[in-house]
Copies of this chain bind each other. A is one copy, B any other.
Amino acid sequence: MIERLSFGLATGEVLALVGRNGSGKTTLLRALALLVRPEAGAIRWQGVDVTADPETWRGRLAWLGHLEGLKGDLSVAENLRVAERLRGDASPDIGRVEAALAAFDLLGLADRPVRTLSAGQRRRAALTRVVLADAAVWLLDEPLNALDGPAQVAFRVALANHLAGGGLAIAATHADLGVAGGRTLELGRAG
């Protein structure tokens, strides 16, 4: 589906995937996370093909898909705690969790079951999970979807911090990511 594509990223860089509807942004992100098997091509991390040791690669990733991956019956805080433990982090630091929740203005909603949240509130909870994962690589599919103005600002701040800390990020988006020093990759065709 996607052909002839090649790019490299240095630490501290963000890559915005843009392109017409159906140009393959979502598909590319899933391929990078090894969720779909690309027909050809390779993904290298510091020169080593990541398919050789997928678990280590997965440990480096934080993922935000089109779907949030939150359990409606658990509260925001419970969802975050389970997500951390599933990543293998036995006892997440409470202070960090609170700071991340505060950044997305979710402190007041932390104990609400996720099913009672509106579209944008859920999206913010999922972004909090990405921040807490403390991963080297963020893969984000339309992170700005459904976010209101202040939440978009919060996301930009979080992303800038992540990059400043030496992380890198790849995000599919139709809107402007609004982070300084970002690079853009335009996928062609479809529409």
Using a CB–CB cutoff of 8 Å, the interface residues on chain A facing chain B are 19-23, 26, 66, 105, 117-121, 123-124, 142, 145-151, 174-175, 190-191
Give A43 Cβ to nearest chain B Cβ, in Å: 22
Q: Are B118 and A148 in contact (CB under 8 A)?
A: no
Q: Are A118 and B21 in contact (CB under 8 A)?
A: yes
Instruction: Give this chain's copy count.
Output: 2
Give A107 Cβ to nearest chain B Cβ, in Å: 11
- Bound-state Cα–Cα, A127 to B68, Å: 24
Q: Are B22 and A120 in contact (CB under 8 A)?
A: yes
Contact of A191 among B23, B148, B174 (CB under 8 A): B148
Q: Are A142 and B146 in contact (CB under 8 A)?
A: yes
Q: Are B190 and A174 in contact (CB under 8 A)?
A: no
Measured between beta carbons, the chain B residues less than 8 angstroms from A149 are 174
- Bound-state Cα–Cα, A128 to B190, Å: 18
Q: Are A118 and B174 in contact (CB under 8 A)?
A: no
Give A17 Cβ to nearest chain B Cβ, in Å: 12
Measured between beta carbons, the chain B residues less than 8 angstroms from A117 are 22
Q: Are B21 and A146 in contact (CB under 8 A)?
A: yes
- Bound-state Cα–Cα, A120 to B19, Å: 11
Contact of A21 among B26, B151, B174 (CB under 8 A): B151
- Bound-state Cα–Cα, A46 to B22, Å: 42
Give A21 Cβ to nearest chain B Cβ, in Å: 3
Given contacts A118-B26, A119-B66, A148-B174, contact A191 B105 (CB under 8 A): yes
Pull 13 A–B residue pairs with CB atoms less than 8 Å apart, ordered by A.
A20-B120, A20-B148, A20-B150, A21-B119, A21-B146, A21-B148, A22-B117, A26-B119, A118-B190, A121-B190, A145-B145, A145-B146, A175-B175
